[in-house]
Amino acid sequence: MDYLPIFMNIKDQPCLIVGGGVVAARKADLFIQSGARVSVIAPELKAEMQRFLAQGKIDWVRAEFSAAIVQQNFVQALPKLVISATDEQAVNLAAYEFCQKHDIPVNVADQTEYCDFILPAIVDRSPMTIAISTGGRSPVLARVMKARLEAMIPHGFAKLTDLVGQYRDKVKDAIQSLDGRKAFWEKLLDSVFIDKAVHGKAQEAQAMLEKQLENAGQFEQMPDGEVYIIGAGPGDPELMTFKAQRLLQQADVVLYDRLVSDEIVDLARREAERVYVGKKSKHHALPQEEICQLLVDYAKQGKKVARLKGGDPYIFGRGGEEVEVLASAGIDYQVVPGITAAAGCAAYADFPLTHREFSQSVALVTGHQQEGAAAIDYARLASSGDTMVFYMGIKNAPKIQAGLIAHGMTADTPAAIIEKGTRIDQKVTVTSLGKLTETINQNRIKPPALLVVGEVIKVRERILSAKQQGIVPFKFEQVAQSDHKIAV
């Protein structure tokens, strides 16, 4: 983060605006709405500032800014916050230097290099306030996001927040434990209570709250633990399902491995405990047995546990092993499917896994064989016509290459290596089966990367060619003796 997002209480505190124009007026209005005692230093005031003055919302010091002027007018205490918004750069710099000297947080409008704090775009559903910031990079983008949130969040959320606030102390008195109060509010706010409060059915919402409060004793007991086995997808956070994100936000503990991107881990609530259990070939942060035991132990403590797995938990994710242990221990669990690496990486690499011209089936194969596991059936794969996707296959690429060629696949069969699939720094290297190992060595490709072998990779070249030409070829087949019409 470029700036620490905090909400500061400036009610009845002295705050200073330098400047009397339109921009300064907008800044002054934020101070006014926050209950500050607002002073304005400026030689003259424009229309909006004049209105604030007439309404008694600001005190005006009619002067050019200087350190002496500030000290003369803030005798008892210097301002808590200062915003300088003038057209005179010398004045803005003077205000900035004064504030730096006296350790006063300052904002020079539209000049982030002279800002100790910045003012976000605000969605006001007081007492709920939502702030959106781009770190000063694009105020317009912040306003666009504000407009979207304004449309999504009804004004009735103010009533909801008020109602919840009215009962905060009552709930605290009725339920002594922090975990119990958390469970109370989570259950209430995951029901139709929100809809009733937001849409003005205050009495019905209040009745629901009162009824749940009558049963406050149940929340003093240790809550039942639960484990969420969540498929985090191949890397892009936007490929996670709504359910995955919702359960991740509820979790008290998050166990994650090295294939889960930092952006996805950061979607968990800040209070959640994060436990890295990353696995790398021959280098495990924790053995699988210990990971399973951790899930059981945390759940038995009444925790909600999110087990984040790259891709889909049931496709080479060992999710089945973990669920077996949870079921044996009597632990409640949910499995949330995720987009597996094969589907996600191929889509982002501009080729499908199936195509009627090239392949009607897909084989998902682990390239990393566990000791004692059956060897890859290269004979079946080579004769199947499948698009073959090898997970964890970089180190065993020479064996994969040799095995497929030995059983009849031609050396010129297309192959692709996808590194950091679906992420912003994804890299796709297209080669042939005969040059697979050579390509990996020449490009110094390291895991994690996905290997794809099959004729369907030819579609990528056609798509890229069409993009370069600005024409996407598309062929409609005629449907004989049919009344069906195709609308374009």
Residue-level pLDDT at 370: 55
Residue 44 assigned ligand-binding role = yes
Do 78 and 172 fall within a single domain? no
Residue 335 assigned ligand-binding role = no
Residue 392 assigned ligand-binding role = yes
Question: Splitting the chain (488 residues) into consecutive groups of 10 residues, what average pLDDT does each group show?
Answer: 88 96 93 95 93 95 95 93 95 96 94 91 88 86 89 87 92 88 87 88 92 88 87 93 92 92 90 84 73 95 94 94 96 95 95 94 83 73 94 92 95 96 93 96 92 95 85 45 33
Any domain includes 435: yes
C-alpha atoms less than 13 angstroms from C-alpha of 148 in its C-beta half-sphere: 7
Do 359 and 463 fall within a single domain? yes
C-alpha atoms less than 13 angstroms from C-alpha of 12 in its C-beta half-sphere: 0
Do 353 and 464 fall within a single domain? yes
Any domain includes 483: no
CATH of the domain at 211: 1.10.8
Any domain includes 148: no
Cα gap 335→320, rounded to integer Å: 10
Q: What is the DSSP letter of 399?
A: H
Residue 234 assigned ligand-binding role = yes
Q: Which of 167, 197, 219 is the last residue of a domain?
A: 219
Residue 227 assigned ligand-binding role = no
Q: Which of 337, 368, 398 is the last residue of a domain?
A: 337
Backbone phi and psi for residue 234, each to the nearest 5 degrees, phi listed first: -80, -5
Across 120-210, the runs of DSSP E, i.e. the strands, are 121-125, 128-132
Q: Nearest to residue 461, comparing CAs of 432, 424, 421? A: 432
Counting the structural domains of the chain, the total is: 4
Q: Are strands 128-132 and 121-125 parallel, antiparallel or unpaired?
A: antiparallel
> Any idea which residues carry the catalytic annotation?
257, 279
Do 162 and 262 fall within a single domain? no
Structure tokens given for 470: 């600005």
Do 245 and 332 fall within a single domain? yes
Q: Which of 337, 356, 385 is the last residue of a domain?
A: 337
Residue 127 assigned ligand-binding role = no
Helix (H) or strand (E) holding 32: helix 22-33
Do 75 and 51 fall within a single domain? yes
Any domain includes 267: yes
Do 251 and 176 fall within a single domain? no
Residue 310 assigned ligand-binding role = yes
Residues in contact with 253: Cβ distance below 8 Å, sequence separation at least 6, in sequence order: 272, 273, 274, 275, 298, 303, 304, 305, 306
Residue-level pLDDT at 466: 86
Cα gap 185→205, rounded to integer Å: 13
CATH of the domain at 303: 3.40.1010.10
Do 301 and 248 fall within a single domain? yes
Do 360 and 446 fall within a single domain? yes
Q: Are 304 and 228 in contact (CB under 8 A)?
A: yes
User: Residue 271 is part of which domain span?
Assistant: 226-337
Residue 88 assigned ligand-binding role = no
CATH of the domain at 453: 3.30.950.10
Any domain includes 80: yes
pTM above 0.85, yes or no: no
* Helical ranges in 84-138 per DSSP H: 89-101
Any domain includes 131: no
Residue 421 assigned ligand-binding role = yes
Residue-level pLDDT at 374: 57
Do 373 and 447 fall within a single domain? yes
CATH of the domain at 27: 3.40.50.720
Do 284 and 390 fall within a single domain? no
Do 183 and 212 fall within a single domain? yes
Q: Are 387 and 454 in contact (CB under 8 A)?
A: yes
